[in-house]
Amino acid sequence: MERRDFLAASAVTGLGLGVGAGHLPEGVGPRPPRQEGRKILIAGGGFRTEFISYMAELTGRTRPRICYLPTASADRESGIIRFYEYCAPLDVEPHVQESFISSYSQDRSWEEVFLSMDGIVVSGGNTLNQQAIWRAQGIDEVLREAWDRGIVLGGASAGSLCWFEEGTTDSRPREVTKIECLGFLRGSHSPHYDGEAVRRPTYHRMIGSGQLKPGYACDNDAGIYFADNEVARVVKTRAEAKVYYVGLEGGEVVERELPAEMIEGA
Q: pLDDT at position 38, please?
A: 97
Residue 202: pLDDT above 50?
yes
Q: What are the residue boundaries of the structural domains of the chain, listed by start?
A: 3-19+36-262
The span from the CA of 133 to the CA of 136, in Å, is 5
Residue whose C-alpha is closest to residue 134's, from 173, 175, 180? 180
Is-contact 98 125, C-beta < 8 A?
no
* Residue 25 pLDDT grade (very low, low, confident, very high; cuts 50, 70, 90): very low
Residues 6+ apart with CB under 8 A from 66: 52, 55, 56, 87, 92, 93, 94, 95, 117, 118, 119, 120, 121
More confident residue, 60 or 34: 60
Residue 21: pLDDT above 70?
no
The span from the CA of 86 to the CA of 73, in Å, is 17
* Residue-wise pLDDT tens digits, 225-235: 999 999 999 99
* Residue-wise pLDDT tens digits, 246-257: 999 999 999 999
Task: Choose, from 99, 116, 123, 157, the residue flagged as catalytic.
Answer: 157
Residue 33: pLDDT above 80?
no
Tell me which architecture the domain covering 3-19+36-262 has in CATH: 3-Layer(aba) Sandwich (3.40)
> Counting Cβ atoms within 10 Å, is residue 32 exposed (0-12), middle (13-18) or buried (19+)?
exposed
Task: Choose, from 23, 95, 189, 192, the residue flagged as catalytic.
Answer: 192
Is-contact 100 69, C-beta < 8 A?
no
Mean pLDDT for the stretch of residues 59-76:
97
Mean pLDDT for the stretch of residues 23-52:
77
How is residue 168 annotated by DSSP?
E
Is-contact 219 44, C-beta < 8 A?
yes
* Residue-wise pLDDT tens digits, 148-196: 999 999 999 999 999 999 999 989 998 888 999 999 999 999 999 998 8
End-to-end distance of the chain based on CA atoms, in angstroms? 21
Percent of the chain with pLDDT over 70: 86
Query: Is residue 192 among the annotated active site residues?
Result: yes
The span from the CA of 176 to the CA of 168, in Å, is 6
Residue 12: pLDDT above 80?
no
Query: Is residue 157 among the annotated active site residues?
Result: yes
